[in-house]
Chains A and B, each alone.
Chain A
Amino acid sequence: MHVNSTTEEKEIVTRQKSKLGVRLFFIYLICYAGFVILGVFKYELLATTVFSGLNLAVVYGIGLIVFAVIMGIIYNYYCTKYEDEAEKADELIKEDKK
């Protein structure tokens, strides 16, 4: 089992995770806003066929959904890595003390 309790979580891990979350949020925000801006200012562009007969609106829309899942996986990967690193560092300190 890993360290569960939030109170025991290292402050540095918290800060790393929070920073990562905010960064990824802004990346997604830009992509999402891009779709809205395209719709309002360059509507005609959404009708462009991108591939196998699908227009940009459909590809961008499905893309946003798939991208959200990918972002989630990336977020999980790094958060787990931060937590593992902090744990390993902890164990090393303990061993040193022995």
Chain B
Amino acid sequence: MIYDISITALIFFFIFVGLVLGLSFYFGRKKSDSSSYYAAGGQIHWAVNGIAFAGDYLSAASFLGICGMIAIAGFDGFLYAIGFLAGWIVALFLIAEPFKRLGKYTFTDALNAKFNSRAITLSASISTLIISVFYLIPQMVGAGDLVMPLLGLPHWAGVILVGAIVIAIVASAGMASTTYVQFLKGGLLIILSVILTGYILKNGLSLSPSTKDNTYHKFITLTPQVEGDKVTAVAGWDVISQQTVGEKTFVKLSQSGVERWFYLTNNDGKQSLKETLTIVQKVNGEKLYNGETKDKRKFYQVGHLSKIIVNGKEVDRTGAVGPFEFLSTINTSDVVRFLQTKITDGTDLVSVYYPEVTSGAKFMLPGLKYKIGSDASLWSKLDFVSLMLALFLGTAALPHILIRYYTVKTPRDARKSTILAIAAIGGFYILTLFIGLGAGVNGVMDVESSNMAAPLLAKAFGAVLFSVISAVAFATVLGTVAGLIVASSGAIAHDFIDIYLKKNLNDDNKVKVGKIAAVVVGIFAILLGMAFKGINVSFLVGWAFAIAASANLPAILFLLFWKRTSSTGISASIVVGIVASLAIILTSPTMWDKYGLGAENSMHQMENPALISFPLAVLTVYVCSILYPKKEVKVELTR
């Protein structure tokens, strides 16, 4: 997409990011002076801790990814919101309290509390590293998407920017991501979402969704003369060529020297040509947007309703609506989504984004991304189940999530703040449904990436709202990335080199190794962030959840609820969980597309691995525990 830079937005953005970063440095310094951060935990009010919990959890995936996926795939994006929240139930009811009784707060420590086994140290540190990297990818992709409309920079520049800032922070100071900063961020995110939802409802629904800051392009429809399947003439245009991809037919027309592609549709025998968006990649590296160079600015934002029906009557606009009315009106209206396909035209590679009218009733049901209707294949049904399983079981198994549960002193305060967090996150996720749908029908979508749905919608309502939301989202990414890089460098320096290899590093060397590890992981994350450009970040986070659910959760559940679990069982199940889920991900259609082999040629059609890898890991921990029972028990679990 082609973006204009707004100076107001830019100023607000830098003020906000500076404020958030400054605060985190300020508190970070203050906290490290005091003898112990966690000992002071008892002084933090449970309500502050609860919102901070929400701030920790609402990463780029939640804010950018879910809204984006709802905007392009309707209800299927909301599936992620449902699953992300349901995962908290597993964390609160099954894992949190028993962990506290073990006296251990991280997976590696908790898993090893009873055994002190090197195999567990090794496998758990590898799983921490892999999950962190998979969680890092979507954050980096989201960061790149964020800076494009703000700074007018290309995607890769944004990825490098975030990577460099975070590496600098982590490698020079070691970032203390503190409760108050997360509290601020979480609180702001929720308040801004409420404001944005208010704007959406006040604005209502309209066939031509223009706002004062955003004029919506009027997409044209032409009536062609057709003989057989061939378009022969179009008034005012020259017909150049015609191509069929799958079952879709596209026609290349030209007018005053500009070549455009149109999508041929057949509606009850009446054929028409609908305007598409195209990006033509020439052999010489030149890129044409809708047939013209970038500076002509002929590339548009998309997403609108083609028919609005209120109480059985067709209207042009609704005016302000209530929340239920908003959802039910979309349900009875028609949504125009822009889908992507690729055409090879001579030596040119053409990305075509063509309009597809989808009934609102379909848009408000699962099935546009994860096909589960009666005509769906078994594979896609399994894929849906697999996704829901991974989201449910993944949250509790993410290495960085549960830690905050232990930052307030009394168990009842920990519980109260967790429940407040669930309420805040849940409320936020319900709002994402409105923001996502609002972005989908208000003509703000960037066809190249769905991740910017929420910020671009804010942009349509005003530059200030846009910059504040972008700044908070950017700070969110920075915080999450810093935390993940610290976690993975810890896994390498502390768990792997120090304990597993028994190098017995002194404190200085340990810090040095940790920093080197942080830089390496950071660079790796930057490269992956560039490679995965354009993929929805919630979808990517779904993979991290699947790996976490397969590698960590079977081990932890058996440890807590089955007395005969042995160390061999635990380490074997972690390894099997990682290998199985990674193998399925790396051979999935999305990856096949990334390799350039074409998604349709992939080895299988599963996008989400948990349905296979989770049971495999459960089986492994059970069988291995029976075959290789534990030898000695160092600490008995209090039950």
A24 within 8 A of B: yes
Name the residue on A nearest B389 (C-beta): A36
Binary contact track A41-78/B, C-beta < 8 Å → 1, others 0: 00110110000111101100110111011011101100
- Complex: how many Å from CA A98 to CA B81? 56
The total of interchain contacts (Cβ-Cβ below 8 angstroms) comes to 145
A-B contact pairs, 28 of them (CB 8 A): A2-B410, A6-B101, A6-B411, A21-B92, A25-B90, A32-B86, A36-B384, A36-B388, A39-B372, A40-B385, A43-B366, A43-B367, A47-B361, A53-B331, A54-B328, A54-B331, A55-B364, A57-B366, A58-B327, A65-B430, A68-B85, A68-B86, A69-B419, A69-B423, A69-B426, A75-B92, A75-B419, A76-B415
Binary contact track B410-422/A, C-beta < 8 Å → 1, others 0: 1110011011001
Q: Are B412 and A43 in contact (CB under 8 A)?
A: no
Q: Are A79 and B412 in contact (CB under 8 A)?
A: yes
Cβ < 8 Å to A, chain B residues 369-392: 372-374, 381, 384-385, 388, 392
B interface SS class = helix
Chain A interfacial residues counted at CB < 8 A: 45
Q: Are A52 and B364 in contact (CB under 8 A)?
A: no
Contacts of B430 in A (CB 8 A): 62, 65
Name the residue on B nearest A25 (C-beta): B93
- Contacting residue for B384 out of A4, A39, A47, CB 8 A: A39
Cβ < 8 Å to A, chain B residues 526-578: none
Name the residue on B nearest A44 (C-beta): B374
- Complex: how many Å from CA A24 to CA B82? 18
B639 within 8 A of A: yes
Q: Are A11 and B638 in contact (CB under 8 A)?
A: yes
- Contacting residue for A65 out of B81, B328, B329, B373, CB 8 A: B81
Q: Among A58, A65, A83, which residue has the most Cβ atoms of chain B within 10 A?
A: A65
Q: Are B103 and A6 in contact (CB under 8 A)?
A: yes
B429 within 8 A of A: yes
Q: Are A52 and B328 in contact (CB under 8 A)?
A: yes
Contacts of A65 in B (CB 8 A): 81-82, 85, 426, 429-430
Name the residue on B nearest A21 (C-beta): B93
Contacts of B419 in A (CB 8 A): 69, 72-73, 75-76
B31 within 8 A of A: no
- Complex: how many Å from CA A85 to CA B78? 41
19 A-B pairs besides A61-B75, A76-B419 with CB distance below 8 A are A9-B411, A14-B638, A18-B97, A21-B97, A25-B89, A32-B392, A40-B372, A43-B367, A44-B373, A53-B331, A54-B331, A55-B361, A61-B81, A69-B422, A71-B89, A72-B422, A72-B423, A75-B415, A79-B411
Cβ < 8 Å to A, chain B residues 342-356: none
Cβ < 8 Å to A, chain B residues 299-356: 324-325, 327-329, 331-332
Given the interface contacts A58-B75, A65-B430, A72-B422, does A53 sit within 8 Å of B327 by beta carbon?
yes
Name the residue on B nearest A62 (C-beta): B430
Contacts of B384 in A (CB 8 A): 36, 39-40
Q: Are B410 and A4 in contact (CB under 8 A)?
A: yes
B45 within 8 A of A: no
Q: Are B373 and A43 in contact (CB under 8 A)?
A: yes
Contacts of A66 in B (CB 8 A): 426
- Complex: how many Å from CA A27 to CA B374? 28
Q: How far is the CB of A39 from chain B (nearest CB, A)?
A: 5
- Complex: how many Å from CA A61 to CA B81? 9
- Complex: how many Å from CA A53 to CA B328? 5
Q: Are A76 and B75 in contact (CB under 8 A)?
A: no
Q: Are B423 and A43 in contact (CB under 8 A)?
A: no
Q: Are B412 and A80 in contact (CB under 8 A)?
A: yes
- Complex: how many Å from CA A69 to CA B97? 18
Name the residue on A nearest B409 (C-beta): A4
B173 within 8 A of A: no
- Complex: how many Å from CA A14 to CA B99? 12
Q: Are B331 and A55 in contact (CB under 8 A)?
A: yes
- Complex: how many Å from CA A58 to CA B433? 9
- Complex: how many Å from CA A26 to CA B155? 44
